[in-house]
Amino acid sequence: MSGHVQYTLDYALELDKQDELAPYRNEFYIQSGQIYLDGNSLGLLSKRAEKSLLEVLDTWKQNGIDGWTEGDDPWFYLPEALGGKMAPLVGAKAEEVIVTGSTTSNLHQLVATFYQPTKERNKILADDLAFPTDIYALQSQLKLKGYDPDAYLVKAPSVDGHLLNEEDIIAVMNEDVAVIVLPSILYRSGQILDMERLTKEAHKRGILIGFDLCHSIGSIPHQLSDWGVDFAFWCTYKHLNGGPGAVGGLYVNAKHFGRIPGLTGWFGSRKDKQFDMEHQLTPAEHAGAFQMGTPHLLSMAPLIGSLELFNEAGIKKVRKKSIALNEYMQQLIEHELGSYGFELKSPLNSENRGGHLFLVHPEAARICKALKEEQIIPDFRSPNGIRLAPVALYNSYQDVWLTIQKLKEIMKEEKYKKFENKRGVVA
């Protein structure tokens, strides 16, 4: 959107008429009267995801154990099949991606594999703004190797508690660092890190590097293989709309194929050898080797339908609309909410920002409760943050316009004051 932005509802409706992804909104279950802006935490259910889940249930009902090798999506091969469908979203070869585990278990697996400390290289580099589960996993892996996390887990500092400076990250890529684990997109501010640049800088220094893609997969394009990234991991219940607790995914660059995973299990076997039941593992010759236990089929099944939508729409079109929605929201915030004490802590340049905006306000918790009372679903982040995520496949420009108008009303009439400024058990 260029030129002067208009601030009327009619303008938002006109943008919706021009939106080539608008038909995908009908693919999702959107509650009547509700505006859902929490897709960066849990994406909505699509009709195709529901259909594919029911089809897997029906296969179980009709075929029993033969569902492992029969039906449209035989379970035995499903992690690899879905990995192939997911690969274009991360810019990888099909064999470099596997659908398995969860964010945390996959991080444990990858660090157990790639963190092989020596006397000279024994530290892990992360950052001050990482999602807590990543830090917990890295601390655990250090302890398992006999290292004190306080001394051997290095964190790149934040410039302001919201953003990272890539120069500061590079500055702590010292010769004693063995592995780097960073977010692709910061979960609070939405800042996108330059993965290509950071990978090049790490490799110049002989350091392996991996990324947490939880907030970027399904939101922005990637080129992991071209960039030479060593490994990556992610969840599938945010922008990929895989459902609560959906099975995660991981990427291993083909140059590392043949490396024995740090945590082995029978589903990492080569398929033709798995049921030989030998006590000597013959690992798969691709990312499938990094699987451990039997896949959770009912938590994987929705991805069959969900990934169809992404492969149809295309991640470039998704990103284009995501940028437009967020720019529109940013402009409305600046125009309508300037006097109400909100601070935008996301990067101002949309090219450096993922699929959500992060607002800081002293009354954030109670403002979120007031929004929910008005059937607008935001995401609160302690202690004072509000994440608003207009999602390209199911949110509209009208959603954005109505949200900011309602937020202005809540602030002007002080409707938030009837709520306690304290988060719920789940935020």
Distance, in Å, from the CA atom of 390 to the CA atom of 15, rounded to the nearest integer, reads 14
416 and 422 Cβ atoms separated by less than 8 Å: no
Query: At 346, which amino acid appears?
Result: S
Q: Is 50 exposed, middle or buried (0-12, 13-18, 19+ CB in 10 A)?
A: middle
Question: Is 239 labelled as part of a ligand binding site?
Answer: no
Return phi, psi of residue 236, to 5°: -130, 10
Question: Is 264 labelled as part of a ligand binding site?
Answer: no
Question: Is 215 labelled as part of a ligand binding site?
Answer: yes
Question: Is 266 labelled as part of a ligand binding site?
Answer: yes
Selection from 181, 194, 249 nearest residue 220 by Cα: 194
Distance, in Å, from the CA atom of 417 to the CA atom of 75, rounded to the nearest integer, reads 52
126 and 181 Cβ atoms separated by less than 8 Å: yes
Distance, in Å, from the CA atom of 346 to the CA atom of 185, rounded to the nearest integer, reads 11
Question: Is 132 labelled as part of a ligand binding site?
Answer: yes
37 and 395 Cβ atoms separated by less than 8 Å: yes
Distance, in Å, from the CA atom of 128 to the CA atom of 135, rounded to the nearest integer, reads 9
387 and 357 Cβ atoms separated by less than 8 Å: yes
Selection from 247, 251, 184 nearest residue 215 by Cα: 184
Question: Is 118 labelled as part of a ligand binding site?
Answer: no
Strand (E) positions, 195-282? 208-212, 231-234, 249-252
Question: Is 212 labelled as part of a ligand binding site?
Answer: yes
Question: Is 199 labelled as part of a ligand binding site?
Answer: no
**Which residues partner with 182 through β-bridges?**
211
Contacts of residue 264, defined as CB under 8 A and 6 or more positions apart, other chains included, come to: 281, 283, 292
Question: Is 74 labelled as part of a ligand binding site?
Answer: no
DSSP-derived letter for residue 92 is -
Return phi, psi of residue 156, to 5°: -65, 135
Residue 249 structure tokens: 């995914």
- Give the residue ranges of the annotated binding site: 103-104, 131-134, 212, 215, 237, 266, 294
- Give the residue ranges of the annotated binding site for pyridoxal 5'-phosphate: 103-104, 131-134, 212, 215, 237, 266, 294
